[in-house]
Amino acid sequence: MQPLIAAIKRGRFAVFGRAGMDLFADPPGTKAENAQSFRADIGGSSANICVGLCKLGMQAALVTSVSDDTVGRFCINRLRSYGAETGYVKIIGGEYRVSLAVYESTIEDFQLCIYRNNAVDFQVTDADVDRVDYSDFSALITAGTVFAAEPSRSSTFRAFQNARDAGLPVIFDIDYRPYSWPSAKVAAEVLTRAGEDSDLIVGNDEEFDFMAGGPGKGLCKARDLAAAGKLVIYKMGHQGAITFAEGKEIRTGIYPVTAVKPNGAGDSFLAGLLASIAEGRPLRQAVLRGSACASIVVSQPGCAPAMPTSAQLDDFLANHPGPTET
Protein backbone atom coordinates (compact mmCIF):
# COMPACT_ATOMS: atom_id res chain seq x y z
CA MET A 1 0.00 0.00 0.00
CA GLN A 2 2.91 2.35 0.60
CA PRO A 3 3.59 3.00 -3.13
CA LEU A 4 -0.09 3.93 -3.52
CA ILE A 5 0.04 6.37 -0.60
CA ALA A 6 3.33 7.84 -1.82
CA ALA A 7 1.84 8.45 -5.27
CA ILE A 8 -1.29 10.09 -3.87
CA LYS A 9 0.88 12.38 -1.75
CA ARG A 10 2.22 13.96 -4.93
CA GLY A 11 -1.27 15.39 -5.37
CA ARG A 12 -1.54 15.45 -9.16
CA PHE A 13 -4.34 13.41 -10.71
CA ALA A 14 -5.53 12.43 -14.19
CA VAL A 15 -9.30 11.93 -13.92
CA PHE A 16 -11.04 9.93 -16.67
CA GLY A 17 -14.77 10.07 -17.30
CA ARG A 18 -17.89 12.10 -17.64
CA ALA A 19 -18.42 15.83 -17.65
CA GLY A 20 -22.02 16.97 -17.77
CA MET A 21 -24.26 19.94 -17.13
CA ASP A 22 -26.30 20.15 -13.93
CA LEU A 23 -29.53 22.13 -13.71
CA PHE A 24 -30.93 22.32 -10.18
CA ALA A 25 -34.16 24.00 -9.18
CA ASP A 26 -33.90 27.30 -7.35
CA PRO A 27 -34.61 28.21 -4.60
CA PRO A 28 -33.87 25.12 -2.48
CA GLY A 29 -36.99 23.16 -1.63
CA THR A 30 -38.58 23.80 -5.02
CA LYS A 31 -39.67 20.73 -6.94
CA ALA A 32 -38.11 20.71 -10.40
CA GLU A 33 -41.48 20.33 -12.09
CA ASN A 34 -42.71 23.51 -10.41
CA ALA A 35 -39.52 25.56 -10.75
CA GLN A 36 -39.48 28.90 -12.51
CA SER A 37 -35.70 29.16 -12.38
CA PHE A 38 -32.73 26.80 -12.30
CA ARG A 39 -29.06 27.20 -11.45
CA ALA A 40 -26.49 25.63 -13.73
CA ASP A 41 -23.01 24.25 -13.13
CA ILE A 42 -20.63 21.53 -14.21
CA GLY A 43 -21.77 18.00 -13.35
CA GLY A 44 -20.90 14.37 -13.98
CA SER A 45 -19.13 12.11 -11.51
CA SER A 46 -15.59 12.44 -12.84
CA ALA A 47 -15.88 16.19 -13.38
CA ASN A 48 -17.19 16.55 -9.83
CA ILE A 49 -14.24 14.58 -8.45
CA CYS A 50 -11.90 16.79 -10.47
CA VAL A 51 -13.52 19.96 -9.12
CA GLY A 52 -13.52 18.61 -5.56
CA LEU A 53 -9.80 17.89 -5.73
CA CYS A 54 -8.99 21.33 -7.10
CA LYS A 55 -11.05 23.10 -4.44
CA LEU A 56 -9.06 21.18 -1.82
CA GLY A 57 -5.75 22.41 -3.23
CA MET A 58 -4.84 19.48 -5.46
CA GLN A 59 -4.01 19.48 -9.18
CA ALA A 60 -6.34 17.57 -11.48
CA ALA A 61 -6.89 17.22 -15.23
CA LEU A 62 -10.04 15.79 -16.77
CA VAL A 63 -9.76 13.37 -19.70
CA THR A 64 -13.08 13.29 -21.56
CA SER A 65 -15.02 14.46 -24.60
CA VAL A 66 -17.59 17.26 -24.84
CA SER A 67 -19.87 18.37 -27.66
CA ASP A 68 -18.91 21.18 -30.02
CA ASP A 69 -21.70 23.49 -28.89
CA THR A 70 -22.55 26.02 -26.23
CA VAL A 71 -23.09 23.34 -23.56
CA GLY A 72 -19.70 21.75 -24.24
CA ARG A 73 -18.05 25.16 -24.01
CA PHE A 74 -19.97 25.84 -20.79
CA CYS A 75 -18.53 22.67 -19.27
CA ILE A 76 -14.97 23.58 -20.25
CA ASN A 77 -15.36 27.11 -18.89
CA ARG A 78 -16.75 25.88 -15.58
CA LEU A 79 -13.95 23.33 -15.19
CA ARG A 80 -11.39 26.07 -15.77
CA SER A 81 -13.14 28.37 -13.29
CA TYR A 82 -12.54 25.76 -10.57
CA GLY A 83 -8.90 25.34 -11.54
CA ALA A 84 -9.20 22.00 -13.36
CA GLU A 85 -6.95 21.39 -16.36
CA THR A 86 -8.80 20.91 -19.66
CA GLY A 87 -5.98 20.16 -22.10
CA TYR A 88 -7.20 16.58 -22.47
CA VAL A 89 -10.86 17.48 -23.05
CA LYS A 90 -11.65 16.69 -26.70
CA ILE A 91 -14.36 18.63 -28.54
CA ILE A 92 -16.50 16.51 -30.88
CA GLY A 93 -18.92 17.72 -33.55
CA GLY A 94 -21.95 15.92 -34.94
CA GLU A 95 -24.88 14.54 -32.97
CA TYR A 96 -23.07 13.56 -29.76
CA ARG A 97 -24.14 15.59 -26.73
CA VAL A 98 -23.05 16.39 -23.19
CA SER A 99 -25.25 14.65 -20.62
CA LEU A 100 -27.75 16.78 -18.71
CA ALA A 101 -28.92 16.24 -15.13
CA VAL A 102 -32.02 18.01 -13.85
CA TYR A 103 -32.72 17.75 -10.13
CA GLU A 104 -33.89 19.58 -7.04
CA SER A 105 -32.71 20.47 -3.57
CA THR A 106 -35.27 18.54 -1.58
CA ILE A 107 -35.02 15.09 -0.03
CA GLU A 108 -38.75 14.33 -0.01
CA ASP A 109 -39.60 12.44 -3.20
CA PHE A 110 -36.25 13.54 -4.67
CA GLN A 111 -36.24 13.52 -8.45
CA LEU A 112 -33.16 13.28 -10.68
CA CYS A 113 -33.71 13.21 -14.43
CA ILE A 114 -30.64 12.46 -16.57
CA TYR A 115 -30.51 12.80 -20.35
CA ARG A 116 -27.80 10.54 -21.80
CA ASN A 117 -28.82 10.23 -25.46
CA ASN A 118 -25.76 9.95 -27.73
CA ALA A 119 -23.55 10.72 -24.74
CA VAL A 120 -20.38 12.39 -25.96
CA ASP A 121 -18.24 11.23 -23.02
CA PHE A 122 -18.48 7.65 -24.30
CA GLN A 123 -16.53 8.72 -27.41
CA VAL A 124 -13.09 8.76 -25.76
CA THR A 125 -10.80 6.62 -27.93
CA ASP A 126 -7.49 4.79 -27.64
CA ALA A 127 -5.82 7.73 -29.39
CA ASP A 128 -7.24 10.11 -26.78
CA VAL A 129 -5.88 8.17 -23.82
CA ASP A 130 -2.55 7.55 -25.55
CA ARG A 131 -1.89 11.26 -25.89
CA VAL A 132 -2.03 11.75 -22.13
CA ASP A 133 1.41 12.36 -20.62
CA TYR A 134 1.12 9.92 -17.73
CA SER A 135 4.54 10.88 -16.41
CA ASP A 136 3.03 14.26 -15.55
CA PHE A 137 0.64 12.73 -13.00
CA SER A 138 0.85 10.77 -9.76
CA ALA A 139 -2.32 8.66 -10.08
CA LEU A 140 -5.20 7.82 -12.42
CA ILE A 141 -8.79 8.15 -11.20
CA THR A 142 -11.96 6.98 -12.87
CA ALA A 143 -15.60 6.36 -12.03
CA GLY A 144 -17.53 3.34 -13.24
CA THR A 145 -19.81 5.14 -15.69
CA VAL A 146 -16.93 5.44 -18.16
CA PHE A 147 -17.06 1.66 -18.69
CA ALA A 148 -20.76 1.50 -19.63
CA ALA A 149 -20.26 1.77 -23.41
CA GLU A 150 -17.70 1.65 -26.19
CA PRO A 151 -15.29 3.06 -27.20
CA SER A 152 -14.65 4.59 -23.75
CA ARG A 153 -14.80 1.18 -22.04
CA SER A 154 -11.89 -0.25 -24.00
CA SER A 155 -9.97 3.02 -24.08
CA THR A 156 -10.16 3.40 -20.30
CA PHE A 157 -8.85 -0.12 -19.77
CA ARG A 158 -6.07 0.90 -22.15
CA ALA A 159 -5.47 3.96 -19.96
CA PHE A 160 -5.18 1.62 -16.97
CA GLN A 161 -2.37 -0.21 -18.76
CA ASN A 162 -0.73 3.05 -19.79
CA ALA A 163 -0.80 4.15 -16.16
CA ARG A 164 0.70 0.85 -15.05
CA ASP A 165 3.48 1.20 -17.60
CA ALA A 166 4.21 4.68 -16.24
CA GLY A 167 4.19 3.46 -12.63
CA LEU A 168 0.93 5.17 -11.66
CA PRO A 169 -1.65 3.58 -9.35
CA VAL A 170 -5.28 3.29 -10.44
CA ILE A 171 -8.09 4.62 -8.25
CA PHE A 172 -11.59 3.36 -9.03
CA ASP A 173 -14.96 4.62 -7.79
CA ILE A 174 -17.49 1.89 -8.73
CA ASP A 175 -20.29 4.45 -9.27
CA TYR A 176 -22.76 1.97 -10.78
CA ARG A 177 -25.56 3.70 -12.71
CA PRO A 178 -27.90 1.03 -14.17
CA TYR A 179 -29.44 3.34 -16.78
CA SER A 180 -26.10 3.68 -18.59
CA TRP A 181 -25.51 -0.05 -19.11
CA PRO A 182 -26.83 -2.47 -21.74
CA SER A 183 -27.45 -5.11 -19.05
CA ALA A 184 -26.72 -5.89 -15.42
CA LYS A 185 -24.67 -8.92 -16.49
CA VAL A 186 -22.34 -6.84 -18.64
CA ALA A 187 -22.02 -4.24 -15.90
CA ALA A 188 -21.10 -6.81 -13.26
CA GLU A 189 -18.44 -8.39 -15.49
CA VAL A 190 -16.87 -5.10 -16.55
CA LEU A 191 -16.93 -3.43 -13.14
CA THR A 192 -15.44 -6.54 -11.54
CA ARG A 193 -12.61 -6.46 -14.06
CA ALA A 194 -12.03 -2.76 -13.33
CA GLY A 195 -11.90 -3.46 -9.61
CA GLU A 196 -9.39 -6.25 -10.08
CA ASP A 197 -7.22 -3.92 -12.18
CA SER A 198 -7.26 -1.12 -9.58
CA ASP A 199 -5.19 -0.29 -6.51
CA LEU A 200 -7.80 1.67 -4.54
CA ILE A 201 -11.50 0.82 -4.83
CA VAL A 202 -14.33 2.88 -3.36
CA GLY A 203 -18.00 1.91 -3.44
CA ASN A 204 -21.12 1.56 -1.36
CA ASP A 205 -22.57 -1.68 -0.03
CA GLU A 206 -25.08 -1.98 -2.88
CA GLU A 207 -22.35 -1.54 -5.49
CA PHE A 208 -20.17 -4.21 -3.90
CA ASP A 209 -23.23 -6.49 -3.66
CA PHE A 210 -23.78 -5.97 -7.36
CA MET A 211 -20.16 -6.79 -8.22
CA ALA A 212 -20.36 -9.89 -6.04
CA GLY A 213 -23.49 -11.19 -7.72
CA GLY A 214 -26.22 -10.62 -5.17
CA PRO A 215 -27.48 -8.98 -1.96
CA GLY A 216 -25.41 -9.61 1.13
CA LYS A 217 -22.30 -10.72 -0.77
CA GLY A 218 -20.59 -7.34 -1.13
CA LEU A 219 -18.71 -7.33 2.15
CA CYS A 220 -17.03 -10.62 1.27
CA LYS A 221 -16.18 -9.19 -2.14
CA ALA A 222 -14.56 -6.16 -0.51
CA ARG A 223 -12.55 -8.42 1.79
CA ASP A 224 -11.43 -10.57 -1.14
CA LEU A 225 -10.20 -7.51 -3.05
CA ALA A 226 -8.37 -6.28 0.04
CA ALA A 227 -6.78 -9.71 0.48
CA ALA A 228 -5.38 -9.28 -3.05
CA GLY A 229 -3.42 -6.28 -1.79
CA LYS A 230 -5.83 -3.47 -2.64
CA LEU A 231 -6.98 -0.58 -0.48
CA VAL A 232 -10.77 -0.92 -0.32
CA ILE A 233 -13.34 1.45 1.16
CA TYR A 234 -16.78 -0.06 1.72
CA LYS A 235 -19.37 2.65 2.37
CA MET A 236 -22.60 1.89 4.22
CA GLY A 237 -24.57 5.14 4.18
CA HIS A 238 -25.61 6.30 7.65
CA GLN A 239 -23.70 3.37 9.16
CA GLY A 240 -20.37 4.84 8.05
CA ALA A 241 -17.63 2.96 6.26
CA ILE A 242 -15.17 0.11 6.60
CA THR A 243 -11.68 0.64 5.21
CA PHE A 244 -9.69 -2.50 4.42
CA ALA A 245 -5.96 -1.83 4.44
CA GLU A 246 -3.00 -4.16 5.03
CA GLY A 247 -5.04 -6.76 6.86
CA LYS A 248 -6.86 -4.25 9.07
CA GLU A 249 -10.51 -3.18 9.10
CA ILE A 250 -10.96 0.47 10.06
CA ARG A 251 -14.55 1.42 10.94
CA THR A 252 -15.59 5.07 10.78
CA GLY A 253 -18.82 6.97 11.25
CA ILE A 254 -20.44 9.89 9.48
CA TYR A 255 -21.17 13.55 10.22
CA PRO A 256 -24.96 13.92 10.48
CA VAL A 257 -26.44 16.91 8.66
CA THR A 258 -29.81 18.03 7.39
CA ALA A 259 -29.58 16.96 3.77
CA VAL A 260 -31.24 18.87 0.95
CA LYS A 261 -30.39 16.26 -1.70
CA PRO A 262 -28.70 12.84 -1.88
CA ASN A 263 -26.45 13.26 -4.93
CA GLY A 264 -22.80 14.35 -5.10
CA ALA A 265 -21.79 12.72 -1.82
CA GLY A 266 -19.66 9.96 -3.33
CA ASP A 267 -17.73 12.31 -5.60
CA SER A 268 -16.99 14.65 -2.72
CA PHE A 269 -16.02 11.76 -0.45
CA LEU A 270 -13.38 10.54 -2.90
CA ALA A 271 -11.97 14.03 -3.43
CA GLY A 272 -11.76 14.62 0.31
CA LEU A 273 -10.18 11.23 0.94
CA LEU A 274 -7.47 11.68 -1.68
CA ALA A 275 -6.71 15.28 -0.77
CA SER A 276 -6.35 14.32 2.89
CA ILE A 277 -4.00 11.44 2.08
CA ALA A 278 -2.02 13.83 -0.12
CA GLU A 279 -1.67 16.16 2.87
CA GLY A 280 -0.04 13.32 4.80
CA ARG A 281 -2.93 12.59 7.14
CA PRO A 282 -3.41 9.10 8.60
CA LEU A 283 -5.80 6.87 6.66
CA ARG A 284 -8.55 6.88 9.30
CA GLN A 285 -8.51 10.67 9.45
CA ALA A 286 -8.51 10.88 5.65
CA VAL A 287 -11.63 8.69 5.47
CA LEU A 288 -13.37 10.84 8.08
CA ARG A 289 -12.49 14.01 6.19
CA GLY A 290 -13.91 12.42 3.06
CA SER A 291 -17.10 11.64 5.00
CA ALA A 292 -17.25 15.27 6.15
CA CYS A 293 -16.95 16.43 2.54
CA ALA A 294 -19.86 14.17 1.61
CA SER A 295 -21.99 15.64 4.41
CA ILE A 296 -21.18 19.19 3.32
CA VAL A 297 -22.23 18.50 -0.26
CA VAL A 298 -25.59 16.91 0.54
CA SER A 299 -26.44 19.81 2.85
CA GLN A 300 -26.17 22.42 0.07
CA PRO A 301 -27.65 22.93 -3.42
CA GLY A 302 -25.70 21.67 -6.42
CA CYS A 303 -22.68 19.39 -6.55
CA ALA A 304 -19.61 21.22 -7.86
CA PRO A 305 -20.50 24.52 -6.13
CA ALA A 306 -21.14 22.64 -2.87
CA MET A 307 -17.73 20.94 -2.85
CA PRO A 308 -15.80 22.45 0.08
CA THR A 309 -12.51 24.27 0.01
CA SER A 310 -9.88 23.25 2.57
CA ALA A 311 -10.86 26.18 4.79
CA GLN A 312 -14.55 25.26 4.60
CA LEU A 313 -13.79 21.63 5.43
CA ASP A 314 -11.67 22.60 8.43
CA ASP A 315 -14.38 24.99 9.65
CA PHE A 316 -17.02 22.25 9.33
CA LEU A 317 -14.90 19.79 11.31
CA ALA A 318 -14.20 22.35 14.01
CA ASN A 319 -17.83 23.31 14.50
CA HIS A 320 -19.88 20.23 13.66
CA PRO A 321 -20.62 17.32 16.00
CA GLY A 322 -19.40 13.93 14.94
CA PRO A 323 -18.42 11.59 13.69
CA THR A 324 -20.98 9.06 14.82
CA GLU A 325 -19.67 5.98 16.58
CA THR A 326 -19.62 2.64 14.73
Q: Are 171 and 140 in contact (CB under 8 A)?
A: yes
Confidence at residue 99, expressed as pLDDT on a 0 to 100 scale = 97
* Annotated domain spans of the chain: 2-316
For residues 1 and 199, give the distance between their C-alpha atoms in angstroms, rounded to a whole number.
8
pLDDT band at 214 (very low <50, low <70, confident <90, very high): confident
What is the pTM for the complete model shown?
0.97
Q: Which residues pair with 232 in a beta bridge?
A: 201, 244
Judge whether residue 326 has pLDDT over 80: no
For residues 293 and 165, give the distance between their C-alpha atoms in angstroms, rounded to a whole number.
32
pLDDT digits (tens, 9 = 90+) for 229-240: 999 999 999 999
pLDDT digits (tens, 9 = 90+) for 169-212: 999 999 999 988 999 899 999 999 999 999 999 999 999 998 88
Count other Cβ atoms within 10 Å, centred on residue 247. Answer: 7
- What topology is assigned to 2-316 in CATH? UDP-N-acetylmuramoyl-L-alanine:D-glutamate ligase (3.40.1190)
% of the chain at pLDDT higher than 90: 95
